[in-house]
Amino acid sequence: MANPIVENVADAQTKNGQIADTVMKDGAAAATEGGNASRAGVHELTNAYQELATKNVNNLTAAVQALSAVKSPAEFIALQQKLIKDGVEAAVADSRHIAQLTTAVFTAAFEPVKKQIEAVQKSVRN
């Protein structure tokens, strides 16, 4: 004669083992997906920084050429002020762009893991 308590405990342990197995497999898949998104995002960020560096070198070269072509101190001061203003505006825009890109990259990288955590929490509640 089988003991119903022992059978219930065995069934519960089997179910918990199956849940743990599913959680581990899904967690590994989420980590892999997150890692892939992270690699792609880092590549995208690297490209953005390279483009920014190239743009800044080109802007510096153009600024030096423009400053070397001025004919008077007043023209030099006016050009210098314009270059400073343009530089600050570009720096703000570039920083905003890099910040948005960084946020998007990290969001994409952690989204699979976040979804997996939410799924585990939901399954635990049920």
Give the residue extent of every domain in the chain: 28-125
Please answer whether residues 66 and 79 qualify as being in contact, where contact means their C-beta atoms are separated by less than 8 angstroms: yes
Whole-number pLDDT of residue 95: 94
Residue type, 111: E
Per-residue pLDDT, 77: 94
Pairwise CA distance, residues 33 & 61, whole Å: 42
pLDDT at 118: 83
Residues 9 and 20: their CA atoms lie apart, in Å, by 16
Average pLDDT over residues 22-37: 74
pLDDT for res 43: 87
How sure is the predictor about 2, in pLDDT bands with cuts at 50, 70 and 90? low
Q: What are phi and psi of 34, to 5 degrees?
A: -65, -40
Q: Which of 89-93, 102-106, 122-126 has the lowest mean pLDDT?
A: 122-126
pLDDT at 83 over 60: yes
Residue 105 CA, distance from chain mean position: 2
To the nearest whole number, what is the mean pLDDT of the chain? 84
The residue whose two tokens read 């960084």 is 102
CA gap 124, 51 in Å, rounded: 47
How many Cβ atoms sit within 10 Å of the Cβ of residue 125? Answer: 6
Q: What is the pLDDT of residue 82?
A: 96
